[in-house]
Amino acid sequence: MAQITQGTRLGRPTRPVAGSSISGIKPSLFFTVFGVLFATNVVTALALLLSPDIAALINGQTAATVSAFEDRIADLRLEVDRLHSRQFAQAGDINLQLQELSQQQEVLTEQHQYVKALAEKAAQLGIAPVVPGPDASPDPAPAVPLAAPAGGLSTSDAGAAAVEQAGHQVRQMMDDSRNALAAISAEADASSDIILTSLQQVGIKPNLGAAAPSGDGMGGPLLPPVAGADASDLVDQANAVGAALDRFQTVRAAIAGAPVHMPVNGPDRVSSGFGNRTDPFTGRLAFHPGIDFPWPAGTTVMAAGDGKVIFVGQINGYGNVIDVDHGGGIVTRYGHLSAFIASEGEQVHTGTPIGRVGSTGRSTGPHLHFEVRRNDQPVDPTIYLAVGRRLARFMTAAG
């Protein structure tokens, strides 16, 4: 019994001995731990009970987000489709524009050939206008492409550039043709006016005929106008030029037949002029109704213009004489001839031999007396010959 430890007494416990490893738990700590564990259990239980609702909420938000993204993608796809459709539409418009321009160019090329033909006719007639453009008869422009480039969106710029280039070529052809036609028409009209004015000053009126302004027959049913169906102004302008060239050709032909040409070949030296002069036989003032060309005897005398021989014979003072009627009251007389070549009633043309220089009649030596009578009255022949010299350039320009 003696081995009973200290601190234990029979029948009741004793206080622990200092330094013992067993100690008590504080109540506050215990309740704190217990509360935490209880709260955790409660939260866990609530999470288990509410997990379907939370999952549904999370899934709903995810579906809305996905749906929004899908809608945005669909909108982007529609926008891309619209861009592609717009590109294809633009490419189709460019193709149509190019085809229209190509058709216009084909028509212009045909009209351009007409313009070139008019320019060649003008050159043959001696009309050489100064064209205010690259060329009086420009070559047709190169053919335009028939389709726009294929490919991405960037090719629309290339297609627009092709349309612009083709349009520029068509406009250039139009401008060149119009410039050439305007220059030809202006030169033909100016030349015709010069010829007509000069001839009319000496009483010669060429017969221009009564042709239509276009120079060609026109007709057809009378129908109401249609919008956008106007005739090409280039064709109208070309027809006007054709009429101007026909008019010039007519008045130019009038020069060839007018009595304004020298009746002898060679220098037109004059020994006695028209009007009052000192008479070589009497020494007194007397009227001389023509001009004298001192040429050797036997020199060929030619008709000064187209006409009909109305007299072959002798007239007092003139010696051997030939009279040629040129119409319009104008008659040319050739006096002091040594021989006759033409016969009365014969139709002669400018330059036709009709006689030979002599000294018959009232003459001091071999010479040709050339006289122009208008309505049976003598007029100054030098005026007619001056007109011939002035208009000679229109006869020789094409030669």
Q: What is the DSSP letter of 1?
A: -
Q: What burial class does residue 43 get, using C-beta atoms within 10 Å of its C-beta: 0-12 exposed, 13-18 middle, 19+ buried? A: exposed
Average pLDDT over residues 146-164: 54
pLDDT at 363: 92
- Which residues neighbour 41 within 8 Å (Cβ) at sequence distance 6 or greater? none
CA 394 to CA 124: how far, in whole Å? 11
**Segments making up each domain of the chain, as ranges:** 30-186, 275-382
Pick the CATH number of 275-382 from 3.20.20.10, 2.70.70.10, 1.10.10.10, 3.90.1150.10: 2.70.70.10
Alpha helices by DSSP H, 222-292: 233-257
Q: Are the C-beta atoms of 362 and 281 separated by less than 8 Å?
A: yes
Mean pLDDT, residues 218-232: 54
Task: Report d(CA 149, CA 156) in Å as an integer.
Answer: 8
176, HSE (Cβ side, Cα atoms, 13 Å): 22
pLDDT at 66: 66
What is the identity of the amino acid at 169? Q
- Residue 142: pLDDT over 90: no
Structure confidence at residue 119 (pLDDT): 81
The most confident of 45-59, 100-114, 157-171, 278-292, by mean pLDDT: 278-292
pLDDT at 181: 83
Of 342 and 214, the structure prediction assigns the larger pLDDT to 342
Helix axes 233-257, 155-201, angle to 10 degrees: 30
What's the chain's length in residues?
399
334, β-bridge pairs: 322, 370
DSSP 326: -
Categorize the per-residue pLDDT at 295 as very low, low, confident or very high, splitting at 50, 70 and 90: very high
Whole-number average pLDDT of the chain = 77
